[in-house]
Amino acid sequence: MQEQIIRSEYSEIMQKNFIDYAMSVIVARALPDIRDGLKPVQRRVLYDMFELGLRYDRPYRKSARIVGDTMGKYHPHGDSSIYDCLVVMAQDFKRGIPLVDGHGNFGNIEGDGAAAMRYTEARLARITQEQFLEDLDKDVVDFIPNYDETEREPSVLPVKLPNFLIGGSEGIAVGMATSTPPHNLGEVIDAEIAFIRNPDMTTADLMRYIKGPDFPTGGYVINQDELLEIYETGSGKIRLRGKTTVEKGKNGHVNLIITEIPYTMVGAGIGKFLSDVAELSEKKLTNDIVDISNQSSKEGMRIVIELKRDTDVDHFTNLLYKKTKLEDTFGVNMLAIDHGRPETMSLRDIMKAVVDFRFETETRKYQTLLKKEQERREVQEGLIKACNVIDIVIEILRGSRDRAQAKGCLVNGNTEGIRFKSKESRAMAAQLMFTDRQADAILEMRLYKLIGLELDALVKEHEDTVAKIDRDEDILEDHESMSAVIQDELRQLKKLYGQPRRTEIANMAEAVYEEKPIEEMDVAFVMDRFGYAKTIDASTFEKNAETIAAEFRYGFIMKNTGKVCLFTSAGTLHTVKAMDLPQGKLRDKGVPIDNVSGFSSAREQIVLATPQSELNLYRVMFVTRQANTKVVDGGEFDVSKRSVAATKLNEGDEVLNVRVLHGERTVILQSENGMFSRFPVEEVPEKKKIAVGVRGMKLAAGDTLREVYYLREEEQLRIEVNGRSVELSELRITGRDGKGCKL
């Protein structure tokens, strides 16, 4: 076959492939289906457990077996994602109603991970078995081929409750994410029943039943008035707050007890909260904390903060709300797959989709049941009819050569080749006309069925079957009957699995906390040549001035309430609060300056570090590699932002030197080619920080500045040039924008 080259635009191929990839992640990995509220991996794990027979009343099975079976049959995307999914579905602190009954270490609310899958065991929770998987054998959902078309899996589970709302969901896809909080099962079921009765209900109507989210960790939702808009649009921010109580402690101290936490603190957030509380003391924001301890157990959450006896507890609690995650926000984006498309859905949209799906599955269920009952009725009628003409049936069986001949007579009245006792018997046999199914049942019927009591039982079964058929037909033909069946099942579901609400919904005033003024004092900022910075005591700095000058790149005294200004080669100014730097001893390591500022050592270098208070009093001179110079009023750098542009640069240029002018009269520019230009500082014009500046020296092609020197009145400075010592004050003044001279 001759090779054919297909030419195509690269951008078109990339666009098509990326869209295909994105939709695959969105639909097949990250987002739940609105009908069952499950992501594909969750659905596959539950179905595989059902296939393995891991019922709630049977023994547990190793998690590794479940993970391996799921990966091999349905989800070939790695064992870690499957096991993580299994673990989350078993954690009652993440789901109000766990879908998996876990046995062993499945992690805890403080962020400790689950044991390895070879150690833990699991089985289906009762609610999952009865409400998620029970009707799979009744053709209620479509089955699709698995990834290699060797197995079949359900495209969606026939869930009988609005799991998308009750279980909540979180997932990150490509270009979109879903974040739905969990809700109270009883409230959601009440809302669904009301919606079935009145499909014209609005979101506001539904919220008479669903008050808001119900997190397994309890706590408060404090912006009740904003919930209606969130549920109408499907997105917004819910403000959460933990619950606290006050107890008397030892030695007259007061104990602030945190009994419930915001849902967003589940996991590593609790450890972060404890460190944040400790940091409040380190940063001198409060002096009231005596001790912090986490006394949580199986009985519940209990974080104890021991406070001094004269502490204003309300004021301290407001400090926690402001400075820690004890008050936090939960971003809501109720995004789900609806009819194959990702949609952000309102509460009413969700309820409509769930109810429509429930009616669809119930219709398919009762169609299947009706078909089976009709088949059963057909068999029962055949057996009853056969019992009434049992003598003829026996003659047919005794006079036939084989089963096929007997069945042909029972179904079609074909008596040819069959021996009968009389012509009357042959004539009666020719008129039987049973159906295929009835004939098979007659041929397989046991003789004890001819006993009188057995025949009576058969007639009773037939009456029951006819009643069931009438019931199923009524449910399928009458919408009200179907609605009544669904509502009855939902009420029973609420009775079995309903729980009291954990999270309180209210409108609470914003926490008010006024920071106590910090006592202003002198500290010393020091930063070594590796970029590690800290503040030290001012007296220590003065005692070790020579050591600091030798070992540290920058060191100066400033106020602890002030800021450090960092000018960089990229023409940027980064500011760092002295309070954000650790205070320690001279030999302490400090913290990388990158971590406490917008500065990035990978993109730029620090040219000057100076206290902001000094800039307000003086002018600042800039010199770039391409010899552009300018002077800027230091007051322009009194900014509130962490990072701003300090100067404008030409393409390919960078800042070589920044100098706060303290009486410098002369500037000397030295180029890489050994050219020197000396001129008065007053010849450099003052400009705004957004200006480029003016040329300080005419450079030859390919030459750039190497060094900048400054001299005060009568000051002398000697440097080494080409192996000989040169006194810079003796260089002739060439003037700004000259070519300079070569030594």
Active-site residues, by number, are 119
CA nearest 70: which of 95, 88, 52? Answer: 52
Local structure of 719: helix, strand or coil: strand
Q: Return d(Cα 82, Cα 18) in angstroms, integer.
A: 25
Q: Are 575 and 566 in contact (CB under 8 A)?
A: yes
Q: Return d(Cα 274, Cα 94) in angstroms, integer.
A: 20
Number of Cβ within 10 Å of residue 213's Cβ equals 24
Dihedral of CA atoms 470, 473, 478, 483 in degrees, nearest 10, equals 90
Number of Cβ within 10 Å of residue 120's Cβ equals 23
Q: Which residues on adjacent β-strands are paired with residue 121? A: 62, 103
Spatial CB neighbours of 730, under 8 Å, sequence gap ≥ 6: none
The residue type at 171: G
Three-state SS across 618-632?
Answer: CEEEEEECCCEEEEE
Q: Are 686 and 712 in contact (CB under 8 A)?
A: no
Helices (H), 30-184: 40-51, 63-73, 79-90, 126-131, 163-167
Helix or strand run (H / E) with residue 301: none
Number of Cβ within 10 Å of residue 739's Cβ equals 13
C-alpha 616: how far from chain center: 46
Residue with token string 């062993």: 104
Q: Are 621 and 630 in contact (CB under 8 A)?
A: yes
Q: Return d(Cα 469, Cα 463) in angstroms, integer.
A: 10
Q: Are 157 and 127 in contact (CB under 8 A)?
A: no
Q: Return d(Cα 432, Cα 655) in angstroms, integer.
A: 107
Local structure of 186: helix, strand or coil: helix
Q: Are 73 and 148 in contact (CB under 8 A)?
A: no
Q: Are 283 and 319 in contact (CB under 8 A)?
A: no
Spatial CB neighbours of 116, under 8 Å, sequence gap ≥ 6: none
Spatial CB neighbours of 423, under 8 Å, sequence gap ≥ 6: none
CA nearest 122: which of 92, 101, 153? Answer: 101
Q: Return d(Cα 169, Cα 505) in angstroms, integer.
A: 20
Q: Are 533 and 525 in contact (CB under 8 A)?
A: yes
Instruction: Classify residue 325 by its DSSP letter.
Output: T
Counting Cα atoms < 13 Å in the Cβ hemisphere of 683 gives 17
Provide the sign of the torsion angle of the four alpha carbons 711, 717, 720, 722, taken in this order.
Answer: positive
CA-based angle 503:346:230, to the nearest 5?
50
**φ and ψ of 642, to 5 deg:** -70, -30
Q: Which residues on adjacent β-strands are paired with residue 505? A: 221
* Beta strand pairing call for 289-294 and 643-645: unpaired
Query: Hey, which bits of 538-687 come out as E strands?
Result: 552-559, 563-568, 572-577, 591-592, 606-611, 619-624, 628-633, 643-645, 655-660, 666-671, 675-680
Helix or strand run (H / E) with residue 639: none
